[in-house]
Amino acid sequence: MKSYKAVISFIRLPNLILIAGFMWFVREFLVKPEFQTVNRQFSLSSFQFQLFILDVLLVAIIGYWLNDWFDRDIDKINKPNRFLVKNPLSRTKFWILIGSISIIATILSLYLAKITNHLNDLWILPVTLLSVGVYAIWLKRFKPIGNILVSLLIVSLIALVLVSENILNPLSCAIDAGFYLKSGLYASLIFVINMSREIVKDIEDLKGDQELSVVSIPSILGVNKSKNLVITLLVFSMLLELIYVWSDLSTWIEIMAIGLLLLLHFSCIWMLKSSIKPNDFRQLSTLLKWLMSFGILQLAILSNW
């Protein structure tokens, strides 16, 4: 049982499920309703979109494993139960593993680009792989930039879905400008929540970061000011949420769902104020992940699914 948990943790299965669900929800409950208003069909078939999600998940796995590889010394202090700490791999085996997954991801990208006429978008894969590599090797030592990059990569999942459906450029298709404003608001909301979680994780890891001279927002501002920064971000997130849903609230189910979402925000703020130990921040990080998950679910609720 412990070995299964270690493998699940190593591949970040909950995160992969969240990424796949996020992309599917964006397509079904953000893009599809807009397409229905202009009588337009998806560019990708269901199977092609599933392959597209698989491609993104493979890149995500590469990013997670690179982080674990270059964080081994820090994880011995902060997270001694991590897979690579307890089950060290040789350098050769690790890079063969990374190389194999990269080749599969590249083949998938080439196949999808060819059959969907997206060859001009092939630059996205190497740029993304380069970004996760730069983050894992260099930016992890200066976490504020890494926090922003990770949050942007999460938000880029929305852009990837729009690219796959040829609607990223409002001048190239008959999509209402309000759709792009709504998508931008939602992307900003996801960015702020993920940024909050990144800072909370850095507070949790502060001890190991300080011992290995890793620069993070908590190491610069201190724990209390970092907590206040997260509170500010969560308040801003609630403001963005209210702006995002203001014109869509029409049923009691929608009102109750948004009320629950705001309650989760308040719960995070309340927990943050009383958090002291690393385990407190670990629990808060989990709660913020639930907040993000429910933020994704709201796409279905607001579309009267």
Q: What confidence tens digit (pLDDT) does each residue in 203-254 have? A: 998 888 888 788 999 999 999 999 999 999 999 999 999 988 887 766 788 8
pLDDT value of position 170: 53
- Tell me the pTM: 0.88
Q: What is the pLDDT of residue 76?
A: 80
Q: Do 89 and 136 have their domain in common?
A: yes
4-57 tens-digit pLDDT: 666 677 778 888 999 999 999 999 999 998 888 888 888 889 999 999 999 999
Same domain, 198 and 302: yes
Q: Is the same domain home to 260 and 123?
A: no
Residue with tokens 């931008």: 184
Picking from 168, 186, 207, the residue at the C-terminal end of a domain is 168
Examine the domain organization and report whether 49 and 101 are in the same domain: yes
Whether residue 180 sits in one domain with residue 156: no
What pLDDT, on a 0 to 100 scale, did the predictor assign at position 305?
52
Residues of the domain holding 147: 1-168
Tell me: do 86 and 114 sit in the same domain: yes
Q: Are residues 181 and 287 in the same domain?
A: yes
Confidence class of residue 256 from pLDDT cuts 50, 70 and 90? confident
185 shares a domain with 163: no
Do 54 and 138 fall into the same domain? yes
The mean pLDDT of the chain is: 87
> 101 and 117: one domain?
yes
Looking at 168, 191, 211, the residue that finishes a domain is 168
Phi, psi at 232, each rounded to 5°:
-60, -45
CATH number for the domain that contains residue 48: 1.10.357.140
Regarding predicted confidence, which is higher, 239 or 301? Answer: 239
- The total domain count for the chain is 2
Q: What is the mean pLDDT of residues 150-163?
A: 91
In three state form, how does the secondary structure of the chain look? CHHHHHHHHHHCHHHHHHHHHHHHHHHHHHHHHHHHHCCCCCCCCHHHHHHHHHHHHHHHHHHHHHHHHHCHHHHHHHCCCCHHHHCCCCHHHHHHHHHHHHHHHHHHHHHHHHHCCCHHHCCHHHHHHHHHHHHHHCHHHEHHHHHHHHHHHHHHHHHHHHHHCCCCCHHHCCCCHHHHHHHHHHHHHHHHHHHHHHHHHHHHCHHHHHHCCCECHHHHHCHHHHHHHHHHHHHHHHHHHHHHHCCCCCCHHHHHHHHHHHHHHHHHHHHHHHCCCHHHHHHHHHHHHHHHHHHHHHHHHHCCC
Q: Is the pLDDT score of 167 beyond 50?
A: yes
Q: Are residues 116 and 6 in the same domain?
A: yes
Confidence of residue 200 (pLDDT cuts 50, 70, 90): very high
Among 149, 168, 187, the domain-final residue is 168
CATH number at residue 269: 1.20.120.1780
**Both 216 and 101 in a single domain?**
no
Query: Which of 97-106, 196-205, 239-248 has the least mean pLDDT?
Result: 239-248
Which tokens go with 38? 């202009």
